[in-house]
Every structure is written in structure tokens, then in C-alpha cells.
């Protein structure tokens, strides 16, 4: 196998964006060729233009000519002026990169409106990994239709699959890894950062390094592919013994696991079949009442004489009489017996 078939697509918006992209692809931006850049100017002579005008300004002019020919004289500020496709190979690949990138450009023309939409095809061999930029004017039906040609996530996934089946697979390449998550993502991000650090890659000194690092930590899979790195194997999870499984307290919060179901922890003897009575309603006037205590009655404390067979429930026992009530009742009984005997 020859590594991973890597494809990245992006929309180019804004006035002058096509000229800016062409100037980068043709290495016409002097600031990108400095000592702190990711470009090695000693190898820029290995770069190659496969399609399109020789000068960056002529690439931008070609886009304007094609748009005028299609009757497009004015565009919206947020219009997609071009699509850029980047095809990458691993640094240690064994392919004929010129033949591979030529096939990539042919596929891009067929997939995005025809060869007449191709503005330029540039192969770069002066960075960490060889790659190819394909600039496409998104003309469809006489209109700029970059968003329609690129599509949503579902269409992008279909585009990636079509590219793999049509080009990458024929060259003996493998599919890019799926987006990683959790510990696998963290491990892969550390692998990518370690490789960049060990190679003293120019990206580490770039002014855009902060967002690049965020992108690596968010989704390291494309960077693994671009650097020709293998995804780290996940650590094997140690299996629990049967004794550990049977004695496990479970996954809920510890404070909830320690409490019996439905009862506060107060040290008193409780059973699951205890019956609770609602507290009396608080007074509506006067000072604020303190919350009434819930009364819990065990099933063996219920009076069988209070059981109602029709409802299947126990009636509440009558409230106990106070001392004054008992004295008044006794006096009434005594007077009633006296009156009866006389």
C-alpha cells in the first residue's frame, strides 16, 4: 500500500481571493519564503504547474474572462469565487506523484463542472509533504454555484468516497481514518505534535500556529494522514473480575447509593413497605410555619381494626385526646350516670 488518499476541499470567498490563492500556489508571496515559513525555498524549483497560466495574475484574469463569457458581471459579497481542492501524499510515499496528481486533477474536472472550470493545477514539493492545489471556478448553468457544487456534509462524504474509489484506490492507497474521539483523539494529537516538534516543522513558527494546534487537537486524523503517521493503538481496557462486578456499588452518585430508597438517613429502622402520611397544610396567616415532619408508620404497627376491606386501605386512627378533653369526658359520663340512676 502507498499510504492514505487525502483530499481537502474549501470555498474561497471575497474580492481578490482567486488572485491571492494563485499567488500562494505560484510562490509569488515573498513573506511565505522566509526562514520562519513552512516553505523550503531551496526545493521550490521542484514545484510544477500541470494546468493553467504561468503567472498568478493570469490565473485571476482567466477567472474573470470565464465569468464574463457566462454573462456574470457582478457578484455578491459572499459569493463563492472559487473552490480549492488539495490532494496530499505522505512524505515517505513511493508513488509517481506527477501521475497521481494528474489523475486527481482529471477527477476534479469531471466532478466539478468540467475541464473548462479548471483555473490552475499546481504541485508543491517544497513543504513537509507533497501535495497538489486545484483551483476551480464553480460555474454551473451560467451561474456561480460553489455551495451547490460543494454541498453539505452528506455530499462531502460522498465526494470523499467517490475520490477514493475513482483515484486513490487505483493507486493502492487506503481510506482516511474516521474522525477520532476521546482518548484515541488525544493520543493521535500528541503523536502529530511530537512529530512536528521532532522535525522542527515550520508550522510551529507560523503566525497561524495557535489555530493550527487547535485544529490538530480537534481532529488529528487528517494530520496523521498528511504526515504519513499511523493511528496509535488504543490501550487495552482491563476487564473486571466477577467478584468486582458483583460487589460494585454501581454508577450513580455516591450520596444516592448510600441511602435506602425513599427515606432520609436518620439511623432509625425502616422497611420498604412503610407508609408515609403527608404533613398538615401550613397556616395561611401569621408567622411562617416550620415544615412538618413526615410520619412513617411500619406495617406491623397498623391496627387491624382500622382496615377497610372495600378500599383495601387502613383508616387513619383518631387523634389522641388531651388531658383537659379526658377530664371533660369523664365528668360528662359521671353526670350522665348520676342523672340516669335518679
Domain map (residue ranges) of the chain: 6-176, 177-232
Partners of 7 in beta bridges? 87
| Positive or negative: CA dihedral 98, 104, 110, 115 | negative
Partners of 80 in beta bridges? 13
Q: What is the pLDDT of residue 222?
A: 77
Question: Is residue 130 pLDDT above 50, yes or no?
Answer: yes
**Between vectors from CA 51 to CA 127 and to CA 149, what angle results, nearest 5°?**
90
**DSSP code for 127:** S
User: Torsions phi, psi of 11, nearest 5?
Assistant: -90, 145
In the structure grid, which three cell numbers stand for residue 112, read together? 466539478
Q: Which residues contact 18 (CB under 8 A, 6 or more apart)?
A: 12, 59, 60, 63, 81, 82, 119, 135
Average pLDDT, the chain: 80
Question: Is residue 183 pLDDT above 50, yes or no?
Answer: yes
Say if CB 274 and CB 296 are below 8 A apart: yes
Q: What is the pLDDT of residue 169?
A: 92
pLDDT digits (tens, 9 = 90+) for 221-233: 878 877 777 777 7
pLDDT digits (tens, 9 = 90+) for 29-55: 876 765 556 788 889 899 999 999 999
Question: Is residue 199 pLDDT above 60, yes or no?
Answer: yes
Name the one residue in this structure whose C-alpha cell is 510544477. 48
How would residue 204 be classed by pLDDT, with cut points 50, 70 and 90?
confident
Name the one residue in this structure whose C-alpha cell is 494529537. 189
User: Crossing angle of helices 182-198/209-218, nearest 10°?
Assistant: 140
Rounded to whole angstroms, the Cα distance separating 336 from 293 reads 40
Q: Residues of the chain with pLDDT > 90: what percent?
A: 37
Among left, alpha and beta (phi > 0; psi -120 to 50; other), residue 250 is left
pLDDT digits (tens, 9 = 90+) for 233-275: 766 666 777 677 767 776 666 555 555 455 444 545 554 444 4
82-91, 202-211, 245-254, range with greatest mean pLDDT:
82-91
Region 6-176: CATH code: 3.30.930.30
User: Torsions phi, psi of 74, nearest 5?
Assistant: -145, 140
Q: What is the pLDDT of residue 141?
A: 87
Rounded to whole angstroms, the Cα distance separating 174 from 170 reads 10
Partners of 277 in beta bridges? 295
Q: What is the pLDDT of residue 234?
A: 65
Q: What is the pLDDT of residue 35?
A: 54
Model pTM score = 0.58
Q: Which residue has the higher pLDDT, 157 or 221?
A: 157
Among left, alpha and beta (phi > 0; psi -120 to 50; other), residue 310 is alpha
Say if CB 137 and CB 119 are below 8 A apart: yes
How would residue 87 be classed by pLDDT, with cut points 50, 70 and 90?
very high
The arithmetic mean of pLDDT across residues 139-167, rounded, is 92
Q: What is the pLDDT of residue 338?
A: 82
The arithmetic mean of pLDDT across residues 100-128, rounded, is 95
Burial-class residue 134 by CB neighbours within 10 Å (0-12, 13-18, 19+): buried
Rounded to whole angstroms, the Cα distance separating 88 from 134 reads 12
pLDDT digits (tens, 9 = 90+) for 278-330: 455 555 555 554 555 555 666 666 667 676 767 767 676 666 767 778 888 88
Q: What is the pLDDT of residue 24?
A: 93
- Report strand pairing: 275-277 vs 295-297: antiparallel
The arithmetic mean of pLDDT across residues 188-198, rounded, is 90
Amino acid at each position: 500500500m502507498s499510504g492514505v488518499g487525502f483530499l481537502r476541499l474549501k470555498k474561497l470567498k471575497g474580492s481578490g481571493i482567486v488572485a491571492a490563492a494563485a499567488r500562494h500556489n505560484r510562490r509569488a508571496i515573498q513573506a511565505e519564503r522566509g526562514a520562519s515559513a513552512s516553505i523550503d525555498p531551496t526545493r521550490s524549483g521542484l514545484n510544477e504547474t500541470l494546468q493553467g497560466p504561468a503567472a498568478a495574475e493570469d490565473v485571476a484574469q482567466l477567472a474573470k474572462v470565464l465569468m464574463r463569457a457566462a454573462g456574470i458581471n457582478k457578484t455578491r459579497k459572499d459569493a463563492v469565487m472559487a473552490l480549492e481542492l488539495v490532494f496530499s501524499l505522505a512524505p515517505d510515499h513511493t508513488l509517481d506523484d506527477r501521475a497521481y496528481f494528474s489523475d486527481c486533477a482529471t477527477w476534479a474536472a469531471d466532478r466539478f463542472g468540467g475541464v473548462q472550470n479548471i483555473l490552475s493545477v499546481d504541485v508543491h514539493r517544497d513543504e513537509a509533504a507533497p501535495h497538489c492545489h486545484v483551483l476551480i471556478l464553480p460555474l454551473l448553468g451560467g451561474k456561480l454555484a460553489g455551495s451547490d457544487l460543494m454541498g453539505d456534509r452528506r455530499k462531502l462524504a460522498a465526494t470523499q468516497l467517490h475520490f477514493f474509489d475513482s483515484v486513490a484506490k487505483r493507486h493502492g492507497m487506503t481510506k482516511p481514518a474516521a474522525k477520532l474521539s476521546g482518548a484515541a483523539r488525544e493520543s493521535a494529537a500528541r503523536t502529530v505534535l511530537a512529530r512536528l516538534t521532532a522535525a522542527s516543522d515550520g508550522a510551529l513558527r507560523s503566525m497561524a500556529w495557535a489555530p493550527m494546534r487547535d485544529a490538530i487537537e480537534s481532529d488529528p486524523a487528517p494530520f496523521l494522514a498528511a504526515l504519513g503517521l499511523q493511528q496509535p493503538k488504543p490501550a487495552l481496557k482491563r476487564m473486571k473480575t466477577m467478584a468486582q462486578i458483583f460487589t460494585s456499588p454501581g454508577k450513580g452518585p455516591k450520596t444516592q447509593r448510600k441511602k435506602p430508597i425513599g427515606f432520609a438517613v436518620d439511623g432509625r429502622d425502616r422497611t420498604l413497605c412503610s407508609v408515609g402520611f403527608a404533613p398538615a397544610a401550613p397556616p395561611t396567616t401569621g408567622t411562617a410555619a416550620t415544615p412538618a415532619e413526615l410520619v412513617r408508620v411500619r406495617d406491623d404497627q397498623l391496627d387491624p381494626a382500622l382496615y377497610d376491606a372495600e378500599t383495601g386501605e387502613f383508616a387513619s386512627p383518631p387523634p389522641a385526646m388531651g388531658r383537659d378533653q379526658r377530664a371533660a369526658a369523664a365528668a360528662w359520663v359521671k353526670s350522665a350516670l348520676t342523672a340516669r340512676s335518679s
